[in-house]
Amino acid sequence: MKIIEISKLQKTYDSDSVPVHAVNGVDLSFEEGEFAAIVGPSGSGKTTLLNIIGGLDDATEGDVTINNVKITELSSRKLTDFRMHNIGFVFQAYNLIPVLTAKENVEFIMHLQGEKKEARDTRATELLKAVGLGEMVNRRPSKLSGGQQQRVAVARALASKPKFVLADEPTANLDSKSTENLLDIMERLNKEEKITFIFSTHDQRVVNKAHRIITLEDGKIISDVRKN
Partner 1 sequence: MIGSIAWRNVWRSKSRSLIMIVAIAIGLFAGVFTMAFMQGAVDARIESATKSELGHLQVHAPRFLENNNIECSISDAREMLSKIETLHGVVAASRRLIAEPFVMAAHGTGGGKILGVDVENEKRVTDIWQHLVDGTYLEKNTRMPPVVIGQKMAEKLQLRVGSKIDVQMVDIDGNLSSKGYRVSGIYKTTNTGYDETHLFVSYNDLRTQLGVKENTAHEIAVLLEDGTNAPAIKPEIQNIAGNNDVQTWKEISPEMSLLTDSMDQYMYVFILIILLALCFGIINTMLMAVLERVKEIGMLMAVGMNKRKVFVMIILESIMLTFSGGFLGILLGTLVTRFFETTPIDVSMFSEGLEKYGFGSQIYTSLQPNTLFTIGFLVIVTGILSAIYPARKALKLNPAEATRSE
Interface residues toward partner 1, by CB under 8 A: 47, 51, 54, 56-57, 76-77, 80-81, 83-85, 89, 91-93, 95, 97-100, 104, 107-109, 111-113, 156, 160, 168
Least CB distance to partner 1 at residue 195 (A): 16
Sign of CA pseudo-dihedral 22, 158, 205, 171? positive
Rounded CA-CA distance 66/69 in Å is 5
Least CB distance to partner 1 at residue 51 (A): 4
Q: Which is nearer to partner 1, 186 or 209 (CB)?
A: 186
Q: Which is nearer to partner 1, 100 or 207 (CB)?
A: 100
Q: Which is nearer to partner 1, 92 or 178 (CB)?
A: 92
Least CB distance to partner 1 at residue 98 (A): 7
Q: Which is nearer to partner 1, 113 or 125 (CB)?
A: 113
Rounded CA-CA distance 102/12 in Å is 38
C-alpha dihedral, 220 to 222 to 226 to 227, nearest 10°: -130
Least CB distance to partner 1 at residue 99 (A): 4
Q: Which is nearer to partner 1, 110 or 209 (CB)?
A: 110
Least CB distance to partner 1 at residue 211 (A): 26
What is the CB neighbour count within 10 angstroms for residue 7? 15
